[in-house]
Amino acid sequence: MRVLLAVLMAGVCLAGAPAMGLAQDAVVTKAALTRVVIAPPRSDLARIIKAGLQSAYYSADKDSRAYQQAQKLYFFYGERGFEPLWLTNGGDGKVTFSANAERIIEVFKNATLEGFRPSDYLTSDLDPAAAGADPIKLAALETSFSAAAVKYAQDAYGGRIAPTAVSKLLTITPKRINEADMLLKLAASDDPGQLLLDLDPKHHEFELLKAALAKFYADGIKVEQITIPDGPALKLGMKDDRVPTLRDRLAVAAPEIPEGATDAKVDTTYDQALLDAVKAFQESLGLTADGVLGPATVAALNGGSAVSKDDLIANMERWRWEPDDLGPFHVEVNIPEFRAAILSDGKVVHATRVVVGRPTNQTPVFSDEIQNVVVNPYWNVPPSIAVNEIKPHLIANPGYLDSQNMEMLAGGKVINASAIDWTTTNINNYHIRQRPGGGNALGKIKFLFPNEHDVYLHDTPSKSLFARSFRAYSHGCVRVQNPMDFAGALMATNPEITEASLEGMFGDKERWVTLKQHIPVHLMYFTLRVDDDGTIRSYGDVYGHNKKLIGLLNAE
């Protein structure tokens, strides 16, 4: 955007500057020996635009991206005699927006359906009547419209908010459009409005969220959610006044009324059909699938709170941050859902519960590739844990490391930690690791994808936490409930490695396995997931990212 504004607005300031001596009829590019015809400007507005583009072209470093963009713009405008892209002379001599500009304006007007604000694009600058016949004002109008079109394109493709503005732990690679290329494509397109709409993410869940947002606006009211009241746990055969509401929530038909019955009452029996529906719902969320309607299942059914427009828009924004291609075979870890899934061609082929970082040790959000599987891993203790947790134990008990099957290294060699006075020594001058074994914090296996946060997926000896509904208890890594089942499903693209071959490596020595086919892994943060039937599943905002993003999106 800055390049675009500088390129075009410079023309307003340089309208009276002399031409800079570039050949007026042809230019031969170095990249591909292509002859570009530069037509001379024939109007005051065209001369202003030419001066600005020419200045940006000549002043940019020839090895820079700014130079490449300025060159493309100069050649494009030059071939059209530097006439504006978005303005046209009406039959009465007045300057108006072109047909293509009007198509883009229609997209701006309907921006709410994309989760955007029309006022961000339909600014007060876009008024041909205010520009009149003044060449400088018309040049500014051309500039403003181009800036609005490119802004919309960038918002649609990569989102309005930088992920790191929400949290420094959202280290998602920003997606950027090429502003000059996008401007040229819009100007050359027969349907620039559709070109902008086509910049939306192609992910299926984004499309479902967008459909839910359209329904919200069509209904004109807040989406109502059927709420199940609290009460005692329900098991098969029990009667409860909440049963009819539960049937409505899960779309389960009530038992048929016997023919001829005249005094039939509403059936409140927790029957097999309802139990089966509750069990299927529990399985879909990774809850204990026992069919019992307990407090955790009631909370999940109620989704914590009704789904709001802001929630829909915030989750759409996060999908705009995700890579265009997640990979035909990939892993998704959705932090608020406490769930990891392996997907093949968009279908879940394996899913498991996970434990993620506690709010004070948050699991970061980013994408990477699983490159290695490590069997019988060492646990390399992070510096923060060494300082805050291990050092106090060493001061109180010099033999603490041995009791935890840990060892200390200096210069790559194991040393005797009990011989050091830890009241005066900086523990981060040393390296601590836990040896492979039954009590190792990483369990028997870990799945590595090198990243700046040093987090990964791994086994754990602490299995009890998987039974809980809220599972944010780790130091930041992702603990997998059934890691060997997960490993077996993960090796579908690496058939030379099997679950059995990995289990055959169990022992007391660390073993590294390199994957020939790396597997994309995406650590995500979606508080809403939408099913194909339009059902919206809501999860808690465990780290507050959703609330923070909503605030940023709604800021003026």
Q: Are 501 and 183 in contact (CB under 8 A)?
A: no
**Per residue in 156-178, pLDDT tens?**
999 999 999 999 999 998 899 98
Q: Residue 479 is inside which H or E element, if any?
A: strand 478-480
List all residues 6 or more positions away from 28 whose beta carbon is below 8 Å from its beta carbon: 34, 35, 36
What average pLDDT does the segment 489-517 reach?
Answer: 95
User: Which pLDDT band, with edges at 50, 70 and 90, does 258 fall under?
Assistant: low
Residue 315 Cα distances to 177, 208, 303, angstroms: 21, 11, 15
Its pTM surpasses 0.85: no
* C-alpha triplet 23, 27, 32: angle, nearest 5°: 165
The reported pLDDT for the residue numbered 550 is 96
The active-site residue out of 204, 350, 453, 458 is 458
Is the dihedral angle over the CA atoms 288, 290, 295, 301 positive or is it negative? positive
Q: Are 287 and 293 in contact (CB under 8 A)?
A: no
The span from the CA of 528 to the CA of 541, in Å, is: 10
The span from the CA of 446 to the CA of 434, in Å, is: 14
The reported pLDDT for the residue numbered 171 is 97
Q: Are strands 445-448 and 431-434 parallel, antiparallel or unpaired?
A: unpaired
* Residue 430 Cα to chain centre, angstroms: 37
**Per residue in 540-552, pLDDT tens?**
899 999 999 999 9
The span from the CA of 54 to the CA of 22, in Å, is: 9
Of 489, 364, 389, 378, whose CA–CA distance to 442 is shortest? 378
The reported pLDDT for the residue numbered 19 is 39
The reported pLDDT for the residue numbered 341 is 97
What average pLDDT does the segment 364-377 reach?
Answer: 97
**Per residue in 18-64, pLDDT tens?**
333 344 445 545 544 567 788 899 887 788 888 877 887 888 888 88
The reported pLDDT for the residue numbered 525 is 98
The reported pLDDT for the residue numbered 253 is 80
What average pLDDT does the segment 521-532 reach?
Answer: 94
User: Which pLDDT band, with edges at 50, 70 and 90, does 409 fall under?
Assistant: very high
List all residues 6 or more positions away from 536 whose beta carbon is below 8 Å from its beta carbon: 212, 223, 303, 307, 528, 529, 530
User: Which pLDDT band, with edges at 50, 70 and 90, does 5 fall under?
Assistant: very low
Chain mean pLDDT for the chain: 87
**Percent over 90 (pLDDT), the chain:** 58
477 is catalytic: yes
The reported pLDDT for the residue numbered 53 is 79
458 is catalytic: yes
Lowest mean pLDDT among 295-299, 417-421, 425-429: 295-299
CATH number for the segment(s) 324-378+438-525: 2.40.440.10
Question: Is the pLDDT score of 477 beyond 80?
Answer: yes
The reported pLDDT for the residue numbered 220 is 54
Question: Is the pLDDT score of 286 beyond 70?
Answer: no
The active-site residue out of 330, 477, 522, 545 is 477
Q: Are 28 and 181 in contact (CB under 8 A)?
A: no
Question: Is the pLDDT score of 265 beyond 80?
Answer: no
The reported pLDDT for the residue numbered 56 is 78
What average pLDDT does the segment 505-530 reach?
Answer: 96
User: Which pLDDT band, with edges at 50, 70 and 90, does 83 fall under?
Assistant: confident
The reported pLDDT for the residue numbered 437 is 87
**Per residue in 100-118, pLDDT tens?**
999 999 999 999 999 999 9
Question: Is the pLDDT score of 17 beyond 70?
Answer: no
List the domain boundaries for the chain: 2-79, 87-197, 324-378+438-525, 379-435
Instruction: Determine how many CB atoms are found less than 10 A away from the CB of residue 466.
Output: 19
Instruction: Determine how many CB atoms are found less than 10 A away from the CB of residue 374.
Output: 20
- Residue 112 has what DSSP assignment? G
Helix %, strand %, coil % of the chain (to 5): 40, 15, 40
**Per residue in 173-200, pLDDT tens?**
889 998 888 988 998 899 999 999 999 9
The span from the CA of 537 to the CA of 33, in Å, is: 56
